[in-house]
C-alpha cells in the first residue's frame, strides 16, 4: 500500500479510520463497504467473492447537509429514528480501527 492508514470521508466528515490493510480487507462502515465493492476486480475467480454493495439515491448538497448521520439518506442499513436524528460519535471498534456509525455504538 502507499500509506499506513486510510481515512474514509463522506460530505467532509471522517466516517472510518484504520490501518490500510484493515480498510481494504475488512471495511465496516456502509459507505466504506460500498467504496470497496466499487473497485474493479480483474481476476474473474475473485469477482464472485465480492458482493455488490449498492448506494441508493443521490449525494446530498454539501451546503445543506442532512441532520444526523450524513450518510443516512443513502444507507441501506439505516436504524429508523436514530440515524436521521443524531450524528454518530467516532468510536474505536477494535484497536486502531475507528468508525462513525450507529450500527456499532453499544447502548
pLDDT, tens only, 23-70: 988 999 999 998 888 777 777 666 555 556 678 888 888 899 999 999
DSSP code of 21? Answer: H
Alpha helices per DSSP H over the chain: 20-25, 30-37, 44-47
* Per-residue pLDDT, 38: 78
Number of structural domains found in the chain: 1
Q: Model confidence over 58-97: pLDDT tens digits?
A: 888 889 999 999 999 999 999 999 999 999 999 999 999 9
Say how far apart CA 79 and CA 92 lie, in whole Å. Answer: 20
Sheet holding 5-10, edge to edge: 5-10, 13-19, 97-99, 91-94
Q: Residue 46 sits in which domain range? A: 5-104
Burial class (CB in 10 A: 0-12, 13-18, 19+), 63: exposed
Sign, CA torsion 6/66/83/76: negative
Amino acid at each position: 500500500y502507499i500509506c499506513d492508514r486510510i481515512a474514509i470521508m463522506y460530505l467532509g466528515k471522517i466516517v472510518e479510520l484504520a490501518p490500510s490493510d484493515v480498510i481494504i480487507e475488512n471495511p465496516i462502515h456502509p459507505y466504506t463497504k460500498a467504496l470497496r465493492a466499487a473497485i474493479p476486480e480483474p481476476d474473474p475467480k475473485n469477482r464472485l467473492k465480492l458482493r455488490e454493495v449498492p448506494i441508493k439515491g443521490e449525494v446530498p448538497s454539501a451546503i445543506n447537509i442532512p441532520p444526523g448521520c450524513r450518510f443516512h439518506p443513502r444507507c441501506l442499513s439505516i436504524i429508523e429514528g436514530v440515524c436521521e436524528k443524531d450524528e454518530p460519535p467516532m468510536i474505536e471498534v477494535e484497536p486502531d480501527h475507528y468508525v462513525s456509525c450507529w450500527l456499532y455504538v453499544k447502548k
